[in-house]
Structure 1
Amino acid sequence: MSKIGRTPISIPSGVTLTQTGRVAVVKGSKGELSVTLLNGISFTQTAEEVSVTRSNDTRQSKANHGLIRSLLQNATVGVSAGFTKTLKLVGTGYRAQAKGSGISLALGYSHPIIQPAVTGITFSVPDTETIIITGIDKQRVGQIAAEIRAMRPPEPYKGKGVRYEGEVVKRKQGKAAAA
């Protein structure tokens, strides 16, 4: 992963990156995120870009180098632009509606499923079959989207379920009718 680690991170205007001990703090217009720096990894900052460096060339240091660079990049994009995941509900009777700051999902079970609000994550439901999840932390946005999708993953025969926008579900033919 050192190829990823060597690539400098461009810092957009309005974003500041500071280091306090082994923690890098990224502040921007949408909020603040912190990234813990692993042993042997440090960064140098110029006016508009940041370069991540490692102290030695062990296999673990090379992997950590790319990891920390990617985490800093995601934090930089998150505090300046944010991250969004869109989920589509496909199926008869599958729908979502806003309940306070959380959402209520009807996914074919005998009861509605309530997804409570999470700090730093916002849900919006533009129509009953679409859920938009936004936030500054890429990992948390993806994790919440994956948890909602896991409640009713798309099935291969009819394609019903919760899927990511643009996700292609490989369909199966099913049993042939008896002759």
Structure 2
Amino acid sequence: MSRIGKKPVNIPAGVKVKLEDKILTCTGPKGSVSKQLPEKSSVNINDSIITVSLADDDKNNEKFTGLTRTIIANCIEGVSTGFFLNLEIIGVGYKAEVKNNLLNLSLGYSHPVIFNIPDTIAINVEKNTLLKITGNDKDLVGQVAAKIRSYRKPEPYKGKGIKYSDEIIKRKVGKASGK
């Protein structure tokens, strides 16, 4: 079995976990998350500890134990503490604002880019150029951040665009002028 799959997952106080037909439902202070688990692994819930094991003895299915354990751990962490990602908007005239569950982005196009925010995701805009995306589902937070970033990826010459706050943009030297 994988090293990650062997580790048990602790259920913190205030979090309820329910497993029915390979669908895991976690409920906690930050809301509720449901995830489909792989068929190749079996999950055992005992008091406040969840363990993952192989459903059969096939060596090819060992990889699913680590995946299953990580899905369970992310589900529990999401409903207890939540997840967030920060995006920065860099460029003259580039800005963002949130109105009525819509994110309005001005990114240098001839039209504003309007993004519909999913129900379980919250986006806070600070100083018109900093976005904080929060939610209880790690996959959805990452997908929303990637979708927003895809509207104007950072370009390598001046660094204009939308980037993750911890992302380092590899810069290129501009064209050398000939004499």
Match of 1:97 in 2: 97
Q: CA deviation at 1:92?
A: 0.7
Q: How does 1:73-84 map to 2 (within 5 A)?
A: 73-84=73-84
Match of 2:68 in 1: 68
Structure 2 unmatched runs, 5+ = none
Q: How does 1:1-179 map to 2 (within 5 A)?
A: 2-179=2-179
Aligned length: 179
Separation in structure 1 between the aligned mates of residue 69 and residue 110 of structure 2, nearest angstrom: 46
Separation in structure 1 between the aligned mates of residue 119 and residue 68 of structure 2, nearest angstrom: 24
Separation in structure 1 between the aligned mates of residue 89 and residue 40 of structure 2, nearest angstrom: 45
Q: CA deviation at 1:108?
A: 0.6
Taking only aligned residues, the RMSD between alpha carbons, in angstroms, comes to: 1.4
The answer to whether the 8 A contact 1:102-1:123 is kept is no
Q: Which moved more, 1:155-164 or 1:119-128?
A: 119-128
Q: CA deviation at 1:22?
A: 2.2
Runs of 4 or more, structure 1, over 3 Å off, are none
CA displacement 1:90-130 (0-9 Å, x = unmatched): 01111001122221000010111111121211111122101
Q: TM-score, normalised by structure 1?
A: 0.94
